[in-house]
Amino acid sequence: AEGAAAPARPLAVVATAFEGISTMIDCDSDGRGDLSLAPFSNACSLVTVLFGCLGLAFKFAELEYSSKVNDLIEASKTYDTLSSILEHDVENDSVRKQGSHSRNLRRVRLGLDLVKALFEQYLSSSDCSLKEAASTAYGQVCAPFHAWTIRKAVGAGMYALPTKDQLLLRLNETDDSVKKEMERYIDASRPIIEYIDNLFLSRNISLDW
């Protein structure tokens, strides 16, 4: 919440939250299983702490991501599960409508995947810069879905990213501890991202948007 003290090790808090969510996924994987919306959206809101560590250039990305997460938190007062918001929007033909809960779920899922890709890039090469890792991750995960103007703005913002050492300081991690936490997040978020994709795919909704 606004004004709350940042946790001592925000990355560990995020990793633990997503490990908790990943154990809640219904293993039927038929796309109808129930993942509760409230704990899911609360875990997603923790990710914004990481954005704070990337610096002011990505304030707009943080606001964009937070507005989508806050919509899901609000929706959790009405809908119990992720699949129930899909059901609602399918019935109302509003899955892809701007501002719908289903569309915002799709956007939040992009954010989770972006962070996962960034961590994978970070771990894959010790001599690439944070800018290189973030540029590659963004190009893989988000760029295909973003308009040219947004891609340009994000590309410009990449130059303002901190160095890896600065990031470690802000995250309160060491070279070794950060790897462990990133791996925990990668492993926990993978089935969650797959689960969300399957919510759409099992209802014959493509993911090309």
Q: Determine the Cα–Cα distance for residues 31 and 2; give it in Å rounded to an integer.
A: 34
* Identified binder of ligand 1PZ from the candidate list 37, 114, 167, 199, rule CB under 6 A: 114
Stretches 8-16, 21-29, 146-154, 196-204: which one binds ligand 1PZ (CB under 6 A)?
146-154
Instruction: Give the distance, in angstroms, between the CA of residue 45 and the centroid of all CA atoms in the same chain.
Output: 9
CB of 29 to ligand 1PZ, least distance (A): 25
50 sits near ligand 1PZ (criterion: CB under 6 A): yes
* Closer by beta carbon to ligand 1PZ, 80 or else 97: 97
Options 107, 116, 164, 184; binder of ligand 1PZ; rule CB under 6 A: 107
Residue 114 · residue 106 · CB < 8 Å:
no
For the range 167-170, what are the long-range contacts, defined as Cβ-Cβ under 8 Å and sequence gap of 24 or more? 167/53, 167/54, 167/130, 170/52, 170/53
- Rounded to the nearest angstrom, the gap between the alpha carbon of residue 82 and the centroid of all alpha carbons in its chain is 15
**Closest CB to ligand 1PZ among residues 107, 184:** 107
Selected binder of ligand 1PZ within 85, 154, 196, 199 (CB under 6 A): 154
Q: Rule CB under 6 A: choose which of 18, 79, 122, 138 binds ligand 1PZ.
A: 138
Answer for the pair 56, 160: CB distance below 8 angstroms, yes or no: yes
